[in-house]
Amino acid sequence: MMNKLSIKQLISTVIISASVFSVTSFAQTEMAQGQVTRIDMTTGKVTIRHGEIKSIDMPPMTMVFTATPKTILEGLKVGDKIDFVAAQENDVMIVKKVVKTSP
């Protein structure tokens, strides 16, 4: 049977593991900055002029991303400045989160 001390140790171990995990997931979902230059709601493709994306080791450029899901493009328009999360999925560059930073 566990005494109070070992329960306390177990809880601190869980807390430490949880914070290490959240630091890792933060690194993987690092937001990149960009500006929307084209949107196709039908195909879910969005062209973004983006700055450096450290999470996927990409220099600044203008390129097409596939929005996953494409509903994240709702409310966006050409010219909007955004923070976004990019990822590579089966050789396709996807954007999985978009936050508008200017109207």
DSSP H/E element including 50? strand 45-50
Considering the rule CB under 5 A, would residue 58 count as an interface residue with Cu ion?
yes
Q: How far apart are CA 50 and CA 69, in angstroms?
A: 20
Task: Give me the helices (H) in the chain, please.
Answer: 4-28
- The span of 8-16, 39-47, 54-62, 95-103 binding Cu ion (CB under 5 A) equals 54-62
Pick from 35, 47, 49, 63: which binds Cu ion (CB under 5 A)? 63
C-beta of residue 95 within 8 angstroms of C-beta of residue 84: yes
Considering the rule CB under 5 A, would residue 61 count as an interface residue with Cu ion?
yes
Count of residues interacting with Cu ion (CB under 5 A): 3
Q: How far apart are CA 24 and CA 93, in angstroms?
A: 21
- The span of 36-44, 52-60, 73-81, 94-102 binding Cu ion (CB under 5 A) equals 52-60
Query: Which positions lie near Cu ion, rule CB under 5 A?
Result: 58, 61, 63
